[in-house]
Structure 1
Amino acid sequence: MNDVIETILAHRSVRKFEDKKLTREQIETIVRCAQAASTSSFVQAYSIIGVTDQAKKEKLAAVAGNQQYVADNGHLFVLCADLHRHDVIREMENADMEESIKSTEKFMVALIDAALAAQNAAIAAESMGLGICYIGGLRNNLDEVSEILQTPKRVIPLFGLVVGYPAKINNQKPRLPISNIYHENVYQQDQTQFQNQLQEYNETIQQYYRERTGGKRSDTWTGQIATSFEKKNRMYMNDFIKKHDLNK
Structure 2
Amino acid sequence: MNQIIETILNHRSIRKFEDKPLTQEQIEKIISSAQAASTSSYIQAYTIIGVTDQEKKDKLAELAGNQAYVKENGIFLVFCGDLHRHEIAGKMEERDVTESLESTEKFMVALVDAALAAQNAAIAAESMGLGLCFIGGIRNNLPEVQKLLKTPDRVIPLFGVAIGHVAKSTDKKPRLPMSNIYHENEYQQNEEQFVAELTEYNEVISSYYEARTKGKRKDRWTEQMANMLEKKSRMYMKEYVQANKFDLK
TM-score normalized by the length of structure 2: 0.99
Matched, 1:152 2:155: no
Residue aligned with 2:38, SS? coil
Match of 1:181 in 2: 181
State the Cα distance separating 1:131 from its structure 2 match: 0.1
User: How does 1:65-214 map onto structure 2 within 5 Å?
Assistant: 65-214=65-214
Residue aligned with 2:169, SS? coil
Match of 1:245 in 2: 245
Task: State the distance in 2 between where 1:240 and 1:216 align.
Answer: 39
Structure 1 residue runs without a partner (length 5+): none
RMSD of aligned C-alpha atoms?
0.5
Which deviations, in whole Å up to 9, do the C-alpha atoms of 1:21-63 show, x marking residues without a partner? 0000000100000000000000000000001110000000000
Residue aligned with 1:112, SS? helix
Runs of 4+ in structure 1 off by over 4 angstroms are: none
Structure 2 residue runs without a partner (length 5+): none
Which deviations, in whole Å up to 9, do the C-alpha atoms of 1:45-98 show, x marking residues without a partner? 000000111000000000000001100100110000000111111110111211
Match of 2:36 in 1: 36
TM-score normalized by the length of structure 1: 0.99
Task: State the distance in 2 between where 1:23 and 1:71 align.
Answer: 17
| Aligned AA (1:48) | I
| Aligned AA (1:44) | Q
State the Cα distance separating 1:232 from its structure 2 match: 1.0
Task: State the distance in 2 between where 1:217 and 1:52 align.
Answer: 35
Task: State the distance in 2 between where 1:96 and 1:19 align.
Answer: 48
Percent identical residues: 65
State the Cα distance separating 1:245 from its structure 2 match: 1.6
| Aligned AA (2:46) | Y
Task: State the distance in 2 between where 1:138 and 1:52 align.
Answer: 16
| Aligned AA (2:47) | S
Which deviations, in whole Å up to 9, do the C-alpha atoms of 1:125-168 show, x marking residues without a partner? 00000000001000000000000000000100000001000110
Which deviations, in whole Å up to 9, do the C-alpha atoms of 1:175-200 show, x marking residues without a partner? 00101100011101011111111111
Task: State the distance in 1 between where 2:163 and 2:51 align.
Answer: 11
Match of 2:218 in 1: 218
Task: State the distance in 1 between where 2:93 and 2:223 align.
Answer: 52
Match of 1:6 in 2: 6
Match of 1:26 in 2: 26
State the Cα distance separating 1:231 from its structure 2 match: 1.0
Which deviations, in whole Å up to 9, do the C-alpha atoms of 1:102-134 show, x marking residues without a partner? 000000000000000000000000000000000
User: How does 1:35-74 map onto structure 2 within 5 Å?
Assistant: 35-74=35-74
State how many pairs are aligned: 248
Task: State the distance in 1 between where 2:62 and 2:224 align.
Answer: 24
Residue aligned with 1:163, SS? strand
Residue aligned with 2:215, SS? coil
Residue aligned with 2:49, SS? strand
| Aligned AA (1:214) | K
Residue aligned with 2:8, SS? helix
